[in-house]
Amino acid sequence: MVAAIDLARAGFGVTVLEAGATAGGKLAIDTLEFDGKSYAIDCGPTVLTMAWVFEELFERCGERLRDHVTMHAAPIVARHAWRTPGKNGAPTFDLANTVEASIDEVGSFFGKKEAENFRAFAKTTKAIWDTVKEPFVVAQRPTAWSVLRDLSERGFGAAVEIDGLRTLHQSLAARFDDPRLQQLFGRYATYCGSSPFAAPATLALVAHVEQEGVFHVAGGMRALANALYQLALRQGVTFQFETSVSEIVVRYGRVVGVRTNEATEVPAGLVVHAGDAQALATGLFGAEATRAVKAIEREDRSLSAYTFSMLARPSGHPLARHTVVFSDDYAREFRELFSQRILPSEPTVYICAQDREAPVKVGPPSLATPLPGNLLAVANGRAPGQNGPAVSPSKFAGGPAADDVTRLFLIVNAPAIGDDGPLPVAELDRCEATLHRLLNDCGFQLNPAKTIRRTPYDFAKRFPATGGALYGRASDGPFSAFQRPGATTPIPGLFLASGSIHPGAGVPMAALSGRLAAIAAVAASPSMRRSPPTATAGSTPTA
């Protein structure tokens, strides 16, 4: 949608062909019926960082994000728990939303020395982010040489600063004495579907990104997708829902359009493929399109997930909006995921309690307070003259559950082996029983009333050719970031945007990929301006 918005703003006529019934991709919801009521639960991304990406998008269109999306700064980044309590006997550790507050929390829970270690860690992660943001994150797909050239211009220290040669775990083990802090910050590798024991230490920059602002979107993350959809409509973008594409049509060496599953050819001078790049590489969009990207080997896939959308009556220790309960043996967990390709014998569990926490007045000035404005009247439904089903706004509003039940979304990391078929029921049951035992041991009783489960097999069906991998290629090794495809392809007229494309996975990164695809498409296109008509002798072709 970001690519569509920017292309329409640049003067292109844009049509989005969407296989689903609504726009939004992985910003999805589950609807659970319980006790005569419907509850909408975020079942994809559950949190927003780098809100400036969307602020800038709306500003480019002459609007303000705050007029269309209500967001609140999170009072804490996340709550964390282990079987072993902290030094002060506290059962849980809350990572605060500012560096100074987090230093105090780390000191209280882990001790004074670790607080000073965290202070140095926060300084380092800011330096990493400041170093890589311009030459890598917001730039068209760079090469290792282009980044090194840029860093060399700033001095040798800049190249050392990004800490790209050590793994994330090696870096954290050298910085923190307590293995629980190594686990906590090592989890950032999973944000792009990778292992902290293989991903580069550069990914520690996520710690700084979270300290810059973690936001909860009123109405759930689907409200953000809806706001983008409405912005696209205002820019003149046309949507055709429930329309699958079977082929990207290439003639005379360039893209000339797409063919739908109904054998209808839709002509187009430019095509942006906004799905997983692996679908192109494996021929799902025709033989010609396989030239666009290289296929990912099975062992290079990122993680999949075993997820639970749940209505529950939690008891015991209180859940925060985001709660992480860690396994006892993190190294074993990732060996099982990436080497043995099985569900962990004891998984780390992420819980999003969508109804928890009131907003607080913290964060960047533009987003520091509850934002004025309302959620839009049409929630990813059909605008007049658009194809696709009309959808009631209330279906996606996702208000708080009743007092006796809480909306929860649980994620357990899983191997991307969904193309092998369904996992054995016994293995799924074992994993679920183990996660509940871990939660109970750490003082969290969920008491589920109703649950929807999804496995790598379900994600493989939803995202064909991926095996259920949710983040494209895993970020393993110092050069992994340069192996993701960029916005441009060897096929003229074909461009790429998604979480499997540079700059990487996650809501803001996927949005940036759309921005980069639009920039590349405009740069590769002839002038959109029409010359005034004039009489010219002969027939002289002009650009």
Q: Looking at residue 532, what is its pLDDT?
A: 55
pLDDT at 366: 35
Residues 201 and 123 in one domain: yes
Q: What is residue 269's DSSP assignment?
A: S
On whether both 113 and 187 belong to a single domain, the answer is yes
Helix axes 507-523, 52-60, angle to 10 degrees: 40
Residue 383 confidence (pLDDT): 31
Kind of pairing, strands 37-42 and 315-316?
A: unpaired
Residue 77 lies in a domain: no
Same domain, 251 and 199: no
Mean pLDDT of 67-71: 95
Domain presence at residue 284: yes
Q: What is the CATH classification number for the domain harbouring 516?
A: 3.50.50.60
136 found inside a domain: yes
Note whether 128 and 168 are same-domain residues. Answer: yes
- Kindly indicate the confidence band of residue 395, based on its pLDDT and cuts at 50, 70 and 90: very low
Number of structural domains, the chain?
A: 2
The label of the residue with tokens 């079987």 reads: 83
DSSP 8-state code for residue 58: H
Higher local confidence (pLDDT), 289 or 388 = 289
> Confidence class of residue 401 from pLDDT cuts 50, 70 and 90?
low
Q: What pLDDT shows up at residue 140? A: 78
Q: Is 111 a domain residue?
A: yes
pLDDT bin (cut points 50, 70, 90) of residue 262 is confident
pLDDT score of 143: 61
Which pLDDT does position 370 carry in this prediction?
30
Q: Are residues 260 and 196 in the same domain?
A: no
CATH number at residue 197: 1.10.405
User: What is the arithmetic mean of pLDDT over 261-287?
Assistant: 95
Q: Is the pLDDT of residue 367 over 70?
A: no
Assigned domain for 134 exists:
yes
Q: Give the pLDDT confidence of 456-472 residue by residue, as tens digits.
A: 999 999 999 999 999 99
Task: Output phi, psi for 445, to 5 deg.
Answer: -110, 120
Lowest pLDDT segment from 124-133, 233-242, 485-494, 520-529? 520-529
What's the domain range around 262?
A: 2-19+243-295+491-523
- Beta-strand (E) ranges in 252-394? 254-260, 265-267, 271-273, 304-312, 315-316, 322-325, 349-353
* CA gap 186, 203 in Å, rounded: 9
Q: Calculate mean pLDDT across residues 437-453.
A: 96
Beta bridge partners of 311: 407, 450
State the Cα–Cα distance between residues 278 and 506, nearest whole angstrom.
17
Averaged pLDDT, 284-288: 96
Report pLDDT for 394: 30
Asked whether residue 164 is assigned to any structural domain, the reply reads yes
- CA 196 centroid distance within chain: 18
**Of 254-258, 394-398, 517-521, 525-529, which gets the smallest average pLDDT?**
394-398
Domain end among 197, 212, 227: 212
pLDDT tens profile 143-187: 655 655 665 555 545 555 667 679 999 999 999 999 999 999 999
DSSP classification of residue 137: I
**H helix runs in 213-269, sequence order:** 222-234
For residues 176 and 128, membership in a common domain is answered with yes
Supply the mean pLDDT for the chain: 86
- For residue 380, name the pLDDT band (cuts at 50, 70, 90): very low
Q: How far is CA 287 from CA 210, 249, 280, 341, in A?
A: 42, 10, 9, 30
pLDDT of residue 165: 79
Residues 193 and 255 in one domain: no
pLDDT digits (tens, 9 = 90+) for 203-259: 999 999 999 999 999 999 999 999 999 999 999 999 999 999 999 999 989 999 999
Residue 542 included in any domain = no
Is residue 45 situated within a structural domain? Answer: no
129 and 203, same domain (yes or no): yes
Above 80 in pLDDT, residue 268?
yes
Bridge partner list, 305 = 413
Query: pLDDT band at 382, cuts 50/70/90?
Result: very low
| pLDDT > 90 fraction of the chain, expressed in percent and rounded | 76
Looking at residue 371, its pLDDT comes to 28
Which helix (H) or strand (E) covers residue 239, if one does?
Answer: strand 238-240
**Mean pLDDT score, 340-356:** 96
Q: Find out whether the peptide bond into 464 is cis, omega within 30 degrees of 0.
A: no
pLDDT tens digit sequence for 72-112: 999 899 999 999 887 777 799 999 999 999 999 999 999 99
Residue 275 has pLDDT above 80, yes or no: yes
pLDDT confidence of residue 87: 76
Q: pLDDT: is 532 or 112 the higher one? A: 112
Q: What is the pLDDT of residues 301-329, one digit of tens each?
A: 999 999 999 999 999 999 999 999 999 99
More confident residue, 368 or 1: 1
Confidence of residue 369 (pLDDT cuts 50, 70, 90): very low
Does 202 lie in the same domain as 259? no
Q: How far, in Å, CA of 533 to CA of 114, rounded?
A: 73
The predicted model scores a pTM of: 0.86
Contact 305, 462 (CB under 8 A): no
